[in-house]
Structure formats: structure tokens, C-alpha cells
Amino acid sequence: MTALSFSSPQWLPHLFGAVINLKPHDHYFHLGFIVISLANLLVIVAMLILFVLAILLPFVHGRQKGPHQSDAAALERTRPRGLDAAREEDTRGLWTAAVRRAGLRLLPPEKLLPDDQPAYVSSWIYVFGVLALSGFVVVVLSGAVLALKGPTWWHTSIVGHFVNSLHLWSVELFMAFMVIHLWGKFWMAAWRGKRRLTWMTGVVAFVLSIFEAYTGYLSQTNFDSQWIAFESKDAFNASGIGAFVNTMNFGQALMLHIVFVPLVLALLIGVHVALVRIRGVVHPIDADPGDTALDGAAPVRHISDEGTTEESPCVGQDEEQVGIPAGAVPDASGIPAGAVPNNSEGSIIG
């Protein structure tokens, strides 16, 4: 046995390796046709506990704004209207101006980079989306370093081992956060309020992430990747996918993993985030009208998909407001000044 002194640079990995053994002989549970390892079962249990805690634990509240303290609203009031009208008239025939106007209508700056959020966002369950996005950024950056350095570097170099481990654990966190985010949005029925496309892009991105993780296993260039490639090729050939994807072709698996699938996945995530900004963050199903207001602001009414009148925090955070002037304050009847009630449906039409 070789003794390690504290002056040796190798004592720290051995110390952590003694505490956390990442390569033990695993135990497996057989539930019918399902075989799951003890490690994966513990990860799923930990994710369920984290999901429950995110729902039950109180959220740390940040800075609150009053009902008329929005930076975007203040900037809008100071904008010279006459100059904008003249500019729009001069650029009416330009396609670049048309694209700009369409982009501003769909995603104005106050929606793209909001400075306030509804009160119901003050919950831990709304955090896992941005956590998954942060994990994806680390996955891309660490994967880019591994792709540039090559297999020999990440198998033999100490720094390569570290970057390879960073890539692995960032993938683990990315998938875990995305699953918890998916659970929360499923039980919240996040497709409500014309958000069906937002939900669909998120689900497709999750399924594509599973395939991306699979191609990552094929690209490890070790015994695990060889075994996975040999075992999965029969399933691919039986389903017909083997005519397009050869699991034993390392070059194809690597290019799928570092080029094609990441580009499609990044595009899906970008569209998903843009749709969240356009449609707003979905509110809980049983949210009270007071809970859907901005912190410190009075709720205002809007028209839902069913044509009924409900209360909402602000434009862009839920369904679109109709016919309510900017800065309008509800009177004693609860209807904002300048809005005319439609007696036939009880909705608000300006």
C-alpha cells in the first residue's frame, strides 16, 4: 500500500473519493419489466422531495414596487409621440421597419426584460425553469471545451477529468431541474391562456434532451459507450431508425451530440423562452385575484379565453388586456377609468 502525504497534490481527490464513491457495485430493483438501480431510485426520490419543498417552502421576497413605479411605464410616458408618428410615416414602405414594428408588438422591451413580476411568481416552483436554463449554459460551455480538446485529453489529463465531471454533473442538474419544472407546469396546466405552443416547445425540448444525453453516452469512448452502442443498435434497427442513425459510428454520434442536436435544442429553448415572455408566466389555477397583482399594485380586469371577466396583474403577464388605457385606475365599481363595460357579456371593452 502506498501512503499519501498531505504535501502530495493527490491527497484531496483520494479524500473525497473515500467519502463519496461514485463507482460502487450497484444494486438493482426488478419491478416487472422495469429494472432500476438504487442510485437512480435515490435520484428520483430526491427530485420528488425537492419538488414538494418547492411548493411548500415560503419564497424570499425581494424589492417591491408601488402601483405606478414601473420603469417601462415611466419611459413610455416620456416618449415623444409626434416624433414617433413622423418616423413611422417615413419608414412605412421598408421591410426592416415592418419587421421591427412586428417584433415590438410581440415582444416589447418591458416584456423582454421586465422589471416587475406578478405576486404569484414569488414561489420556488417558478425557479426551476431558469435553473434548467442555467444548467444548459454550463453544459454547452463545458461540452465545447471537451469537443475542442478531444477524448485523449478528457481521459488522461487531470483538468480534463475535472471538465468531464463538470459536464456530467451539469447535465444531471439540467435534466433534474427540467423534470421538476415539467412536473410543476403539468399540475399547473401551463397550456392555459393560449400557451399551448409554449407547453409543446418545452415538452419537445425535454424529449430531445433525452436523445442528446444518449448520444453523449455514445461519445464517451470507453467501455460504457461501446456496450451502449452494441445493445441499442438492435433496437434502432428493429424500429427502422438504424437506417439513419448508426450507433456504432463514433463520428456520426459525436457530430449529432456536439453540432446537430444542440443547435436544434438551443433553437427550441430560445423559442420557448420568447413565448414565455410574449404570453407571460402562467398563474396558479386556484390563485386569488389579489395574489395575481403586482407586488404593491391593485389588480386590474382582463378578458379570458372563455370571454369572462377576470382580474390580472398587468398586460403581458397573463392574457392580453383589451381597451384599458395605460395607467388607468379602477373606480369604486372596479372598472378602470376610460373602459366601457359590455352589458351583454360583462367584459371590458374600451
Helices 196-218 + 158-187 axis angle, to 10: 150
Nine cell digits for residue 236: 434502432
Identify whether 221 is part of a domain.
Answer: yes
Angle at 219 between CA 218 and CA 225, to 5 degrees: 45
pLDDT tens-digit profile of 278-308? Answer: 888 888 887 654 555 444 444 444 434 444 4
Identify whether 293 is part of a domain.
Answer: no
Identify whether 344 is part of a domain.
Answer: no
Identify whether 129 is part of a domain.
Answer: yes
Identify whether 212 is part of a domain.
Answer: yes
Contacts of 111 (CB under 8 A, 6+ apart): 277, 278, 280, 316
Residue 291 is predicted with a pLDDT of 52
Identify whether 33 is part of a domain.
Answer: no
Residue 143 is predicted with a pLDDT of 95
Identify whether 7 is part of a domain.
Answer: no
Per cent of the chain over pLDDT 70 is: 65
How many domains in the chain? 1
Q: Does the structure show a pLDDT above 70 at 344? A: no
Model confidence pTM above 0.85: no
Task: For residue 255, name the pLDDT band (cuts at 50, 70, 90).
Answer: very high
d(CA 287, CA 126): 14
Are the C-beta atoms of residues 312 and 324 closer than 8 Å to each other? no
CATH number of domain containing 239:
1.20.810.10
pLDDT tens-digit profile of 74-130? Answer: 555 445 454 466 666 666 777 787 888 888 887 787 777 777 777 788 888 899 999
pLDDT tens-digit profile of 203-230? Answer: 999 999 999 999 999 999 889 899 999 9
Identify whether 289 is part of a domain.
Answer: no
Residue 343 is predicted with a pLDDT of 40
Find the domain containing 177 and state its range. 124-279
